[in-house]
Structure 1
Amino acid sequence: MEFKKLGSSSVKVTPMAFGAWAVGGWMWGGAEESAALRAIRASYDLGMTTIDTAPVYGFGRSEELVGKALQGIPRDKYQILTKYGLNWETDQGEFFFDTTDNQGKPLKVYRYSGAAKVIKECEDSLRRLKTDYIDLLQIHWSDATTPIGETMGAVAKLIEQGKVRAAGVCNYNTEQVDEALKTVKLASNQVPYSMINRGIEKDVVPQALQKGLSIVPYSPLQRGLLSGKIKPGYKFGEGDTRENNKFYTAENINRANALLQKIKPIADAHEATLSQLVINWTTRQPAMDCVLVGARDENQVKENVKALEFRLTDEELKIIDKAASEFVLADL
């Protein structure tokens, strides 16, 4: 894969990255460890050397799996993107949601990114990932209880210490990005984006293009809905939160599948799956320099990597854009 720079930083990433949320198990149902390890290693072996994870994914489990899977590989041969800012150890910060850990234990999660906590989280991530630096350290969600300048000042300190190569944000609006830029140079903004969830095109993407930031889009398949494999009545596994997601009502599943049928001839023409077509389309959108795609096992990784083995023509892109623009999400 050809590498792309994250914003104006020195960090180079693959245009598609392994999203390690699902392998952590949390909110996706259980994940078998050996399958997760093989999936991560397969990603590296197939040239998708950029891995995106976070402490909250399995409450440390995802980062530990990434560290274990990549042991023995020279550190400069892969890129680690991880996060900070979600706290389940204390009640500090802004309450976010109730959940359970992988063993079913109730937990409260808070948004908290005080300077000392940012430093501690980075140290904990370095230990779990078995590395001495992180390529991109991103705030996971904004924290209304901590000034952005304080948070970004801590990240700037970590960059000075060589523990972090570049700073990023996740789920930040344009005002928050502008505020963060007063303290630290940002490489990227990681936000949700898919063919049927394109709200960021109004302001977040134009800002990224103007300020020289990369967009790191997550959920390009809308958590599997745009794979074409989800039909009304689909049975979700235990612990899978998609069942209560607005995109997964019977009506919206039907609408998404109607969109997919409109673009299926393009997928067929390239001997590609619908998932591969959707991922390919996403990589062609402005500022989308590193598209996150999750996988639970090595077969899914192999299928995902094939998404970059063909090139859509301008005419095909127009057809897809037209079909996507006609999609309207049904209200609950």
Structure 2
Amino acid sequence: MSNSSNASMKKTTLGPSGIACSTIGLGTWAMGGWMWGGGDNAAAVLAIQASLDAGVTLIDTAPAYGLGRSESIVGTALKGRRQEAVVATKCGLVWHTQKGTHFFEEDGHPVHRHLGRESIFHECEESLKRLQTDYIDLYITHWQDSTTPVEETMGALLDLKKQGKIRAIGVSNVSPETLAEYLRYGPVDAAQERYSLIDREIEQTLVPLCTEHNVVVLGYSSLALGLLAGPIDPARQFTGDDQRAANPRFSAENRAKLKAFFEELEPLRQHLECSFGQLMIAWTLARGSVQVALCGARVSRQATENAGAGAVQLRDDALALIDAAAGRHLHALA
């Protein structure tokens, strides 16, 4: 497998902020345990440190990932190494207030979408405590709130930036219309959206606006919840609250399609001396729609392997081969 070193990891800049970060980021949703069948804090801490060792500087978290658990893990992992990391966290999914609109239940707590000014200031302070830091590099509105004017939300974020609590502003799960509204009030440094070989909708919708306004696109679910990490054993069961248990994309029929897809790419994988996951992450970055591929990991081995994708170079003929194989096998995935 290709392993990354700091030298092979490419860098990008988070929009107008000028903050430099790695083009591969570590996503920590699964570390929070929620919707992933539980978690192991000690293993997660080691995975974050392994990512830093491999040249991954962008660490992406959120309060909603385990109701603060993921942020606390990141804070523990970065003790003594805070300056090596570009920390992205989020606001807008809250359980301290009933304002906004109800979104889901997590561990018996009703979680609401709310991006009011007072709430954002409260959330930021809570995140700073859990992360054991006095600043957040990139602060992202996690989901949008139809009950709060964007002007109020952006005003709060710009004030936090003036205070030095946050260094850059991001949005996530946003329509082009809402992003345009944010941009009316100030610079947006990053947009975080779902993007992978089988989730390419933003190429037509959001990416052109981001390109026009120098908004860096962070692609989450680069491996489609693990679907694109390599063939999945037909006998593998997803248990507990693991969201994949009920996800139709993980059906037996789709696992067979994926098996055929990966078999077709096996010669390319061998030629490049990489894993299938690394191949898919490299594809994500080579396509040019996202500048950062966020990849989840729960253990050091996964984190190091994901980072290794930074050393995989895909020429145009390899990209064409991957796209053709995806067209044959993956076009009908649920």
TM range, smaller chain: over 0.9
- What is the CA deviation profile of residues 181-214 of structure 1, one whole-angstrom value per residue up to 9, with x for unaligned ones? 1112101110001101111111211221122111
- Residue 117 of structure 2: aligned partner: 115
- Residue 329 of structure 1: aligned partner: 332
Bigger CA drift: 259-268 or 157-166?
A: 259-268
> Following superposition of structure 1 onto structure 2, how do residues 186-265 of structure 1 map, counting pairs within 5 Å?
186-265=188-267
- Residue 42 of structure 1: aligned partner: 50
Counterpart secondary structure, 1:47? coil
Counterpart secondary structure, 2:228? helix
Please report the TM-score for the alignment, with normalisation by the length of structure 1.
0.94
Shift in alpha-carbon separation, 1:26–1:212, aligned structure 2, 3 A: same
Bigger CA drift: 136-145 or 312-321?
A: 312-321
Give the Cα–Cα distance (whole angstroms) in 1 for the partners of residues 129 and 27 of structure 2: 20
- What is the CA deviation profile of residues 129-149 of structure 1, one whole-angstrom value per residue up to 9, with x for unaligned ones? 011111100000011111111
- Residue 82 of structure 1: aligned partner: 89
The one-letter code sitting in structure 1 at the alignment partner of 2:128 is: L
Q: Does the CA-based 8 Å contact 1:233-1:250 persist in structure 2?
A: no
- Residue 182 of structure 2: aligned partner: 180
- Residue 67 of structure 2: aligned partner: 59
Shift in alpha-carbon separation, 1:107–1:229, aligned structure 2, 3 A: farther
Counterpart secondary structure, 1:223? helix
Q: Does the CA-based 8 Å contact 1:6-1:289 persist in structure 2?
A: no
Give the Cα–Cα distance (whole angstroms) in 1 for the partners of residues 203 and 26 of structure 2: 23
Counterpart secondary structure, 1:137? strand
| Shift of residue 330, structure 1, vs aligned partner | 4.5
- Residue 31 of structure 1: aligned partner: 39
The one-letter code sitting in structure 2 at the alignment partner of 1:155 is: L
- What is the CA deviation profile of residues 11-57 of structure 1, one whole-angstrom value per residue up to 9, with x for unaligned ones? 11101011111111111112111111111111112211210000011
- Residue 95 of structure 1: aligned partner: 102
- What is the CA deviation profile of residues 248-302 of structure 1, one whole-angstrom value per residue up to 9, with x for unaligned ones? 2232333233322222221111111111100111111224111101111111112
Give the Cα–Cα distance (whole angstroms) in 2 for the partners of residues 330 and 216 of structure 1: 23
- Residue 282 of structure 1: aligned partner: 284
Give the Cα–Cα distance (whole angstroms) in 2 for the partners of residues 250 and 92 of structure 1: 41
1:70 aligns with 2:46: no
Q: Does the CA-based 8 Å contact 2:10-2:310 persist in structure 1?
A: no
Bigger CA drift: 193-202 or 248-257?
A: 248-257
Give the Cα–Cα distance (whole angstroms) in 2 for the partners of residues 322 and 229 of structure 1: 18
The one-letter code sitting in structure 2 at the alignment partner of 1:257 is: K
1:129 aligns with 2:147: no
| Shift of residue 98, structure 1, vs aligned partner | 2.8
Counterpart secondary structure, 2:312? coil
Give the Cα–Cα distance (whole angstroms) in 2 for the partners of residues 325 and 89 of structure 1: 45
- What is the CA deviation profile of residues 45-101 of structure 1, one whole-angstrom value per residue up to 9, with x for unaligned ones? 22112100000111001101101111012x4321100000001233211111233x2
Of 268, 271, 289, the match for 1:266 = 268
In the alignment, structure 2 segments of 5+ residues that lack a partner are 1-8
- Residue identity over aligned pairs, in percent, reads 42
Give the Cα–Cα distance (whole angstroms) in 1 for the partners of residues 203 and 258 of structure 2: 20
Give the Cα–Cα distance (whole angstroms) in 2 for the partners of residues 253 and 320 of structure 1: 18
Bigger CA drift: 283-292 or 318-327?
A: 318-327
Give the Cα–Cα distance (whole angstroms) in 2 for the partners of residues 325 and 109 of structure 1: 38
The one-letter code sitting in structure 1 at the alignment partner of 2:98 is: D
Q: Does the CA-based 8 Å contact 1:208-1:287 persist in structure 2?
A: no
Give the Cα–Cα distance (whole angstroms) in 1 for the partners of residues 200 and 327 of structure 2: 9
Counterpart secondary structure, 1:319? helix
The one-letter code sitting in structure 1 at the alignment partner of 2:29 is: W
CA RMSD in angstroms comes to: 1.4
Q: Does the CA-based 8 Å contact 2:231-2:255 persist in structure 1?
A: no
- Residue 298 of structure 2: aligned partner: 296
| Shift of residue 233, structure 1, vs aligned partner | 4.3
- Residue 22 of structure 2: aligned partner: 14
The one-letter code sitting in structure 1 at the alignment partner of 2:104 is: F
The one-letter code sitting in structure 2 at the alignment partner of 1:228 is: G
The one-letter code sitting in structure 2 at the alignment partner of 1:184 is: G
- Residue 6 of structure 2: aligned partner: none
Counterpart secondary structure, 1:97? strand
Aligned residue pairs, count: 325
